[in-house]
């Protein structure tokens, strides 16, 4: 039913607020699009860590009595869509909480470590016992084994031993820490409440700051660690500097909420520019521009404005579909898509339709939607995709099929057009995507799912970096 890539997680943390856990709950609610399989919150009060985690959506996991038990002035939370580590095991729900010789620690992680298996085997040979199958637990074990004096130093020593993409929150007994990987693949922002002294928030996206009425301060920089404590916000850059950064470009295509701004680029405006560029690269004579809701809407607006073709909501999304449903025994064609999306025949009947979507992964959903629009009476259906062909899987924290399952990896554009049954098919070029997203900026991106150029190499190709530790925390 859902043939999209999925981001792995969303993270949210609060320091020095009397309603820390309640605010984290609201923050996770705003980040629900980043993970719908499980949610968790950990708070700390007088060196005691309080934890509540469960399967399902944020509103299903946490009830008022649960939040009342999460006492303390600081808390971190996590929503998850599993990649490394299966979702079935409740032990795979974050944040992880452990007691160490140096005190308690909680960790929440968005991303994926490419050397997690190697590091896990090494730690197990040295006597470590793992409770979950998540790569996040590798970081926890490495930090717990460190002999460094403070939690930030132990965390740095741990992160120097792993490779991959991550935005990470850690919480000690008296601090909240945010770290972004040196390539800057996953987003992380800092906010604060201006009417409260030394009260801060860390979030995957700015949209969550708006909900809790916190003020955006800045993006955490690639390779930066911020330590929030009674001293305020301290910033460190303990990792070797990269020549360029590699924010996941799919954040701007699909993952992030349209009302978020990431690394200075507004997601909604970037998607409209993407749609406008798509109209320039793949013009078509048509009567209507129709988005595949909801992710295709901003790009379809941009396509409409650039082409002059009217925009219409020819497909309506049912927002109340649960993650599971009972499928009828008697066959209903395209049931999985129809329960989520429904065409409006009065809008599309007899019309030449430009159908705008964000990506083609396996192609199965695109094929069904094109057939639905045609069955509703459309005279022509021209499929336009607001990203390049997806030819490679992601290994950095995105749930993707194997390359064998990706339609564009083994089919030409014409073969994909024939498979989806569209009258024409056009993908945005990689060059056009960069120009539309950057819009005058000079950001670097990870585009491995389109190009096959993986910026973080895998362990057999890597050389050990020179270790840089924090000196004055």
pLDDT digits (tens, 9 = 90+) for 251-287: 999 999 999 999 999 999 999 999 999 999 999 999 9
**pLDDT for res 84:** 44
Each residue's pLDDT tens digit in the chain (473 positions)? 456 665 569 999 999 999 999 999 999 999 999 999 999 999 999 999 999 999 999 999 999 999 999 999 999 999 998 554 455 578 889 999 999 888 999 999 999 999 999 999 999 999 988 988 888 999 999 999 999 999 999 999 999 999 999 999 999 999 999 999 999 999 999 999 999 999 999 999 999 999 999 999 999 999 999 999 999 999 999 998 888 899 999 999 999 999 999 999 999 999 999 999 999 999 999 999 999 998 899 999 999 999 999 999 999 988 776 544 455 555 565 666 777 889 999 999 999 999 999 999 999 999 999 999 999 999 999 999 999 999 998 888 776 668 888 999 999 999 999 999 999 999 999 999 999 999 877 789 999 999 999 998 776 544 433 444 443 33
- Pairing assessment for the beta strands 424-427 and 380-385 based on DSSP bridges: parallel
- Pairing assessment for the beta strands 445-446 and 164-171 based on DSSP bridges: unpaired
**pLDDT for res 459:** 61
The partner residues of 311 in beta bridges, in order of sequence, read: 289
Q: 134 with 162: CB under 8 angstroms?
A: no
Q: State the Cα–Cα distance between residues 57 and 61, nearest whole angstrom.
A: 6
Domains of the chain and CATH, by start: 6-246 (3.60.20.10), 264-451 (3.40.50.2020)
210 by Cβ neighbours in 10 Å (0-12 / 13-18 / 19+) ranks as middle
Cα angle 463, 108, 223 (rounded to 5 degrees) comes to 40
**pLDDT for res 7:** 52
Reference 462, options 57, 11, 115, 33; nearest CA is: 115
The partner residues of 145 in beta bridges, in order of sequence, read: none
- Pairing assessment for the beta strands 103-113 and 96-100 based on DSSP bridges: antiparallel
Q: State the Cα–Cα distance between residues 370 and 417, nearest whole angstrom.
A: 10
Q: Is residue 9 among the annotated active site residues?
A: yes
Q: What letter would DSSP give residue 20?
A: H
Reference 273, options 259, 253, 249; nearest CA is: 253
DSSP string, 180-206: E-TT--S--EEEE-TTSTT-EEEESSH
Altogether, the residues listed in the chain come to a count of 473
Residues 6+ apart with CB under 8 A from 457: 114, 163
Q: 159 with 239: CB under 8 angstroms?
A: yes
DSSP string, 266-278: EHHHHHHHHHHHH
Distances in Å between the Cα of 253 and the Cα atoms of 266, 269, 437, 449 are: 11, 11, 9, 12
Q: Where are the alpha helices (DSSP H) in 296-398?
A: 297-307, 335-338, 345-348, 364-375
Helix (H/G/I), strand (E/B), else coil: 343: strand
**pLDDT for res 384:** 98
Q: How many CB atoms lie within 10 A of CB 103?
A: 14
Q: State the Cα–Cα distance between residues 219 and 427, nearest whole angstrom.
A: 31
Q: 356 with 373: CB under 8 angstroms?
A: no
Q: State the Cα–Cα distance between residues 74 and 456, nearest whole angstrom.
A: 33
Q: State the Cα–Cα distance between residues 186 and 337, nearest whole angstrom.
A: 30
Q: Where are the beta strands (DSSP E) in 298-413?
A: 315-317, 341-343, 352-357, 380-385, 398-399
**Catalytic pick among 9, 207, 394, 446:** 9
Q: State the Cα–Cα distance between residues 247 and 181, nearest whole angstrom.
A: 10
**pLDDT for res 467:** 40
- The radius of gyration computed from the CA coordinates of the chain, to the nearest angstrom, equals 23
């Amino acid at each position: 039913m859902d043939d999209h890539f999925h981001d792995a997680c969303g993270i949210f943390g609060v320091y020095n607020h009397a309603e820390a856990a309640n605010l984290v709950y609201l923050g996770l609610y705003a980040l629900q699009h980043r993970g719908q399989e499980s949610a968790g919150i950990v708070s700390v009060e007088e060196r005691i860590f309080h934890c509540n985690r469960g399967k399902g959506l944020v509103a299903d996991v946490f009830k008022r009595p649960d939040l009342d038990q999460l006492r303390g002035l600081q808390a971190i939370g996590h929503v998850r869509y599993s990649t490394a580590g299966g979702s079935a095991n409740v032990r795979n729900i974050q944040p992880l909480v452990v007691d160490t010789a140096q005190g308690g620690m909680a960790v929440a992680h968005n991303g994926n470590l490419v050397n997690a298996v190697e590091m896990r085997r090494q730690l197990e040979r040295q006597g470590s016992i793992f409770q979950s199958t998540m790569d996040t637990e590798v970081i926890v074990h490495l930090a717990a084994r460190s002999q460094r004096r403070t939690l930030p130093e132990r965390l740095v020593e741990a992160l120097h031993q792993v490779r991959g993409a991550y935005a990470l929150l850690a919480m000690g007994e008296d601090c909240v820490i945010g770290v972004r990987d040196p390539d800057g693949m996953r987003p992380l922002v800092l906010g604060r409440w201006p009417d409260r002294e030394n009260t801060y928030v860390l979030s995957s996206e700015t949209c969550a700051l708006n909900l809790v009425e916190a003020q955006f301060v800045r993006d955490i920089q690639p390779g930066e660690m911020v330590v929030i404590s009674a001293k305020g916000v301290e910033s460190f850059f303990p990792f070797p500097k990269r020549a360029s950064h590699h924010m996941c470009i799919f954040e701007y295509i699909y993952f992030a909420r349209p009302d978020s701004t990431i690394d200075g680029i507004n997601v909604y405006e970037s998607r409209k520019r993407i749609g406008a560029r798509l109209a320039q690269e793949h013009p078509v004579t048509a009567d209507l521009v129709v988005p595949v809701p909801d992710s295709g809407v901003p790009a379809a607006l941009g396509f409409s404005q650039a082409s002059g073709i009217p925009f219409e909501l020819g497909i309506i999304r049912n927002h109340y579909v649960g993650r599971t449903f009972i499928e009828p025994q008697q066959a209903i064609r395209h049931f999985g898509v129809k329960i989520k999306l429904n065409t409006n025949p009065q809008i599309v009947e007899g019309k030449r339709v430009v159908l705008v979507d964000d990506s083609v992964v396996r192609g199965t959903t695109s094929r069904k939607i094109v057939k639905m629009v045609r069955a509703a009476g459309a005279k022509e259906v021209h499929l336009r995709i607001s990203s390049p062909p997806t030819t490679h899987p992601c290994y950095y924290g995105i749930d993707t099929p194997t390359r064998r399952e990706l339609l564009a990896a083994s089919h030409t554009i014409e073969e994909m057009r024939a498979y989806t049954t569209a009258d024409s098919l056009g993908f945005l070029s990689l060059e056009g995507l960069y120009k539309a997203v950057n819009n005058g900026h000079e950001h670097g991106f990870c585009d491995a799912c389109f190009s096959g150029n993986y910026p973080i190499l895998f362990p057999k190709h890597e050389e050990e970096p020179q270790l840089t530790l924090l000196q004055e925390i």
